[in-house]
Amino acid sequence: MDIKICLASDDNYAVHMAVTIASILKNADDGDNLFFYILDGGISDEKKDKIAKLNKIKESDIRYIEIDTSIFRKFQLVQNYFTSAVYYRLMMADLLPDVDKIIYLDSDTVICSSLKELFDVDVTEHYLAATEDIGFFWARKYLDRQIEKFYINTGVMVVNLKLWRRDILGERLIKFGLETNNKLAFGDQDIINVVLKDKIKNIDLKWNVQTSFFEFYNVLNHPLKREIIKAKKNPKIIHYITWKKPWNSYVPKRKLYFYYLDIAGFASDLSFTNRMKITKQLVLHSIKTAGYFLRYIVSPIIKGYRTDDKKIKIKIFNFFEFILCKTK
C-alpha cells in the first residue's frame, strides 16, 4: 500500500525530523510503500545525505520540496520554540499538486506502528482528520474562547489535499493568518482550526499521544480522561508538545527519541550540564505530581474545597504548589 507523508523543516530541526522518519521506517509493515514529501526551508546537503541513508532501514522515496520562505517570515512566532517552518503546512496542497491525500506529521513526533491504518482514515468529505488537543480544554478558559467544541492538535493530520485545492484553502489560510497575526494564540494551529472547523474529522487519540497525557494533573479532571488513559496505554504516535523536548528537558517517553536518534545516525549532543538540568527537572516533576496526587486524595475530606469552576482548591496545597513552581 502506498502511504504518503509530509513533513516540514528548516536546517535546525532536520535532525529531529530524521528521528521521525527513522521511527516510521523502523515500524513500517512489509507492504508499506512509503513516500516522504519534505517541505524544505533550507536543509543542508550534509543533513540530506544523512537522511538519505535512512533507506538502509527500509527502502522509501524521499523528496524535498523547495519553498519560498519569505511569506512565512511575516507570521508571528507565538511561542519561542516555534520556527517559521510550522506555517509551511498551510500551503501543502499547492506545493504538492500531484498528491490528493497525505499524512502530515510534526518533526517532534515518534511513530510506534505502521501508518497504514491512519492513512486509511476516510477524509473524502473532510478537509482533514486529527485528534483533540487536550491542552485546549484548559487554555480556552484563560483565552476566553468557549466557542470551540472541538479543537485539534495539528501535529498529526490526514489531509484531503484534493479538497484543499478545490476550495483554494492555501490562499484562504495564508490570508486569514496574516489578517489575524497579532491575535493568534497558537499560530498555524489557530488558523487551521478556525478556517477549517466545519470539515474536520475526529480520530482516536492513540494517533497523537501528546506528552501531557502522562502528567497526572493534566488528565485528572479532563472530560476525555477515559480516552486519554486508553490511548497512552497503546500509543501509535508520541508527540513531544510544548517547549519541553527530549533534547532539552525531562519529558515522558524521551528514551524513545534517543533510541531512534541513534538509529538515524545522529549523535546526541547532551552535555553534562544539560543532563544535570534534565535530572533536576525529573525530580521536580515527580514532586509536583506527588503534590497534586496528595491534594486529590486529601481534599474531599476538607470542608469548603470547591471553587466556582469546580476545581479543587485548598490553601495549604495551593501554597505547596506555588513553592514547587518557584523552585523550577
pLDDT of residue 315: 45
Of 101, 131, 160, 325, the C-alpha closest to 241 is: 131
Using CA atoms, how far residue 125 sits from 121, 160, 162, 163, in Å, is: 11, 9, 11, 8
What type of residue is 207?
A: W
As a whole number of angstroms, the distance between CA 69 and CA 73 comes to 7
| 82 neighbors 188 (Cβ within 8 angstroms) | no
Whether the full predicted model's pTM is greater than 0.85, yes or no, is: no
- For 24-42, what is each residue's pLDDT tens digit? 999 999 999 999 999 999 9
Beta strand 61-66 pairing with 152-160: unpaired
Region 146-150: mean pLDDT is: 68
Instruction: Let me know if 50 is exposed, middle or buried by CB neighbors in 10 A (0-12, 13-18, 19+).
Output: middle
Q: State yes or no: pLDDT of 67 exceeds 50.
A: yes
Across the beta sheet with 101-105, the strand order is: 61-66, 33-40, 2-9, 101-105, 152-160, 128-132, 200-202
The residue behind cell 506527588 is 290
Cα(29)–Cα(17) distance, integer angstroms:
20
Residue 223: pLDDT above 90? no
Instruction: Indicate the pairing of strand 152-160 with strand 128-132.
Output: antiparallel
267 — pLDDT class (breaks 50, 70, 90): confident
pLDDT in tens, 68-85: 877 777 776 655 545 677
C-alpha atoms less than 13 angstroms from C-alpha of 43 in its C-beta half-sphere: 26
Interatomic CA distance for residues 10 and 252, integer angstroms: 25
Decide if 9 contacts 37 (C-beta within 8 A): no
Order of strands across the sheet that contains 209-210: 109-111, 237-239, 209-210
The mean per-residue pLDDT over the stretch 168-197 comes to 88
**Strand 200-202 relative to strand 128-132, pairing:** parallel
